[in-house]
Amino acid sequence: MEYSKNYTVADGHIDVQGIMDGLYYPFYMEECRHDYIREVLGFDFVEQAENGVFMVLSEYSIKFIRSLKKDDNFDVTCAVFTDAKGLPRLHFKQSIIKNGKTMATGVFTGTCIPATGGRPYLPEELKANFGDAPALEI
């Protein structure tokens, strides 16, 4: 299932060239991804942290295709994939789209770890909410 949220480029995110600074693309992707994880996958970061479960990123990559500018309105999409190797991690494919044109794409990989330290894992209640997600071949 693909999820989407709409945003408008904030004035403070524009650099001296009149385009959105590159560091804000993952910022908007993160905001969308966190909402997806909470609303669709049922994983509440605050509640889980209080229960000793941290969801963390282990890697990400972004491809910049076109630049966003001041006041641009755009959508950020998010879809979850399991790990093709069976590792305890999730992959989130995301895109930033303006007027039907892809501005940037990214893949964010994350897992859960115990707050006290230990090996990565995916909680059973989280697994139940993405069970039919396809595997991502990287």
pLDDT digits (tens, 9 = 90+) for 11-34: 999 999 999 999 999 999 999 999
Question: Following DSSP, what letter does each residue of 118-129 receive, concatenated?
Answer: ---B--HHHHTT
Is 80 within 8 Å of 126 (Cβ atoms)?
no
The answer, yes or no, to whether residue 1 has pLDDT greater than 70, is no
pTM, full prediction: 0.94
Going by pLDDT thresholds of 50, 70 and 90, the confidence category of residue 137 is confident
Q: Give 3-136's CATH code, choosing from 3.40.228.10, 3.20.20.60, 3.10.129.10, 3.40.640.10.
A: 3.10.129.10
In eight-state DSSP terms, residue 49 is H
pLDDT digits (tens, 9 = 90+) for 72-130: 999 999 999 999 999 999 999 999 999 999 999 999 999 999 999 999 999 998 999 98
Task: Work out the average pLDDT over 50-66.
Answer: 97
